[in-house]
Amino acid sequence: MRKLAALAVLVSSLSACGGAGENVTPPNPPTPGPAPQLSADLCYLMDTTMGEISLAVDNTHTPVTGNNFASYVDEQFYDQTLFHRVINNFMIQGGGFTTGMVNKPGRAPIVNEANVGFSNLRGTIAMARTNVPNSATSQFFINTLNNPQLDYSASSVGYAVFGQVIAGMEVVDQVSITPTAKQGVYSDVPVVDVVINSVTKISCPAG
């Protein structure tokens, strides 16, 4: 029972800090068959105050989510935002707040593409959202452990994985152990800001 309670707290931590009432209709069971492999259609260099993280985004299987992320990058939306929520042995979340935990509103929410079959494995990047399934905007998180409890299933709408870290996982791990504290109404906020200086498009590795 204690483990289940802890899990519920962690999953609720992926709210995109906007807050919305529970509005979840259980999805249809996943389509049987092998899960697709993440492709590297678009690649990005995320420069942070703790080092560089390279990401590959799958536009083939998650076109809505991939194009959404690409649009925010093209607008330089993520520049000077924070990794504002960090939970060791779970994930690091960013893309929606600037220094002082000032909310940076995103565009209209997108459809949740968690049902394509990707799992929230260590090193994957996925969309944060509120309790409303189709509520993700700009915020994302990087899994620091395998988190299958976040996947789409017959009883859960899941969190949409749309890419993975291809270099710099050691930076992600360092961010994940940075000291945190409560700041106002927000929990698990790094004591020292972890700033995303910029996100820029790069060439994807061959092969």
Q: Is residue 133 part of a domain?
A: yes
Q: Is residue 98 part of a domain?
A: yes
Q: For residue 150, how far is the Cα from the chain centroid?
A: 11
Residue 138: C-alpha distances to residues 18, 95, 132, 168 (Å): 12, 6, 15, 21
* Reported confidence tier of residue 107, pLDDT bands at 50, 70, 90: very high
Q: Is residue 10 part of a domain?
A: no
User: What gap in Å lies between CA 14 and CA 187, rounded to an integer?
Assistant: 12
- Read off the pLDDT of residues 167-180 as tens digits, 9 standing for 90 and up: 999 999 999 999 99
Q: Is residue 187 part of a domain?
A: yes
Q: What is the DSSP letter of 45?
A: E
Query: 178 is in which domain, residue-wise?
Result: 38-202
At residue 31, the pLDDT reads 57
At residue 29, the pLDDT reads 55
Radius of gyration from C-alpha coordinates of the chain:
16
- Read off the pLDDT of residues 16-43 as tens digits, 9 standing for 90 and up: 543 333 345 545 555 556 779 999 999 9
Of residues 150, 155, 193, the one with CA closest to residue 10:
150
Residues 6+ apart with CB under 8 A from 128: 14, 15, 16, 93, 95, 96, 136, 139, 140, 141, 159
pLDDT average, residue stretch 45-73? 98
Q: Is residue 72 part of a domain?
A: yes
Q: Which two tokens stand for residue 167?
A: 């270099």
Q: Is residue 52 part of a domain?
A: yes
pLDDT average, residue stretch 148-165? 97
Please provide residue 133's backbone torsions phi and psi, each rounded to the nearest 5 degrees.
-55, -45
Q: Which two tokens stand for residue 21?
A: 């009432």
Q: Is residue 109 part of a domain?
A: yes
Residue 76 in this model has a pLDDT that exceeds 50: yes
Of residues 162, 161, 157, the one with CA closest to residue 22:
157
At residue 32, the pLDDT reads 58
Q: Which two tokens stand for residue 154?
A: 């017959």
At residue 14, the pLDDT reads 65
* Reported confidence tier of residue 71, pLDDT bands at 50, 70, 90: very high
CATH number at residue 94: 2.40.100.10
Q: Is residue 31 part of a domain?
A: no
Residue 149: C-alpha distances to residues 12, 47, 111, 121, 156 (Å): 12, 29, 20, 10, 9
Count of structural domains within the chain: 1
Q: Residue written as tokens 């076109």?
A: 63
Residues 6+ apart with CB under 8 A from 2: none
Task: Assess contact for 37 and 61: CB atoms under 8 A.
Answer: no
pLDDT average, residue stretch 126-130? 98
